Amino acid sequence: MSLSAAIRSIPRHPVGPPSHPADLQSPKAPRRLKSFLEKTLTRANPTLHALLALLLLTACNPTPTPELHVFAAASLREALTETADAFQRANPKVQIVPNFAGSQLLRLQIESGARADLVISANPDHLEALHHSGLLAAPPTVVATNQLILAVPAANPAGISGLQDLTQPNRRVVMAAESVPAGAYARQMLAAHAAATGQPGFADTVLQRVISFETNVRQVAAKLELAEADTGFVYRTDVLASNGRLHVIQTPPQVRVTATYPAAVLRDAPNSDLAQRFLTFLRTPQAQAILTRHGFGAPA
């Protein structure tokens, strides 16, 4: 008897179709859930009732704390958090809700209708675009400046000593994407070095050494802190915020790139008066002292 004939002679057993690979629930699951919900909701359940009472209380709070939604460039994280704390101490009824991201993403969120009162970008381009689209209540005001720098992990494993070292083969460079302010500034610095040293292909060579174009400058700093890259372009403030995990590599004054941080109240800001007050506060000596301590420069 052949093999196939032998197999055909065996009574077949019903076998189902291939089960769904992500088949995580049994057919009993919905029934079980239903009975669980019924039990939980119908029986006297002190915990549940307490929770519901709490929910109702918070929902009916007659004087809600005004929330100020501040969309801020990723590099402002520590400095703005501290400035917001100072503002809230002076205005205890205000709750500042920050949203930190790459400035290009903040712009995209605002263009897509995100609820925001104040926006602070790490370069003028994105706010100018918002202004052109009529999304700002007034032209932007500069609240701080910053310096783009070349940084290395504290141990400097690749022995980077200047921009020229970035052209060596096997160097792993990390920087922000071109739409991110820190990425645009990095390209400016590369162009300045190329012009100062007369190497037209310099920027392209360095861009070939880039292992990742990150979506905000703090992702660049993170890759450097993990020493997954040899060097990268961040702000002076990011090195200060790294608590010694990053070091600055000195670059000559010809390639100096200064970042400006414009801020503006949104046209559709739910709390525009409050937003304007916080914007004014950012330019006071008290707020500027906090920003300076985190490495930012005064508005030019």
Partner 1 sequence: MLAPVGVLIARGITRADIGAALASPFVRGAVQLSLVTSAIAVLAIVALGTPTAYLLARRRFPGRALVDAVIDLPIVLPPVVGGLALLLLLGRQGPVGGPLAGAGIDVAFTTAAVVLAQMFVAAPFYIRAARAGFESVDERLEAVSSTLGARPWRTFRRITVPLALPSLAGGAVMAWARALGEFGATIMFAGNVAGRTQTMPLAILEAMEADANAAIAIAVVLAAIALAVLIAFRGLARAGSRAL
User: In the complex, which residues of this chain contact partner 1 (CB under 8 A)?
Assistant: 1, 3, 6-7, 10, 12-24, 102, 104-105, 108, 172, 174, 177, 179, 210-215, 223, 226-229
- Scanning the chain, the segments in alpha helix (DSSP H) are 3-9, 29-42, 46-59, 77-90, 103-111, 124-132, 181-197, 202-208, 217-225, 236-241, 272-282, 285-293
Give the nearest distance from C-beta 138 to partner 1 in angstroms: 25
Q: Choose between 107 and 236: whose C-beta lies nearer to partner 1.
A: 107
Give the nearest distance from C-beta 16 to partner 1 in angstroms: 6
Give the nearest distance from C-beta 223 to partner 1 in angstroms: 8
Q: Choose between 54 and 226: whose C-beta lies nearer to partner 1.
A: 226
Q: Choose between 108 and 196: whose C-beta lies nearer to partner 1.
A: 108
Q: Choose between 114 and 137: whose C-beta lies nearer to partner 1.
A: 114
Q: Choose between 82 and 165: whose C-beta lies nearer to partner 1.
A: 165
Please give the angle made by the CA atoms of 283, 76 and 224, to the nearest 5 degrees.
150
Give the nearest distance from C-beta 186 to partner 1 in angstroms: 14
Tell me which H or E stretch contains 1.
Answer: none
178, 191 contact by CB (below 8 A): no
Give the nearest distance from C-beta 36 to partner 1 in angstroms: 21
The C-alpha atoms of residue 157 and residue 180 are separated, in whole angstroms, by 27
4 burial (CB, 10 Å; 0-12 / 13-18 / 19+) is exposed
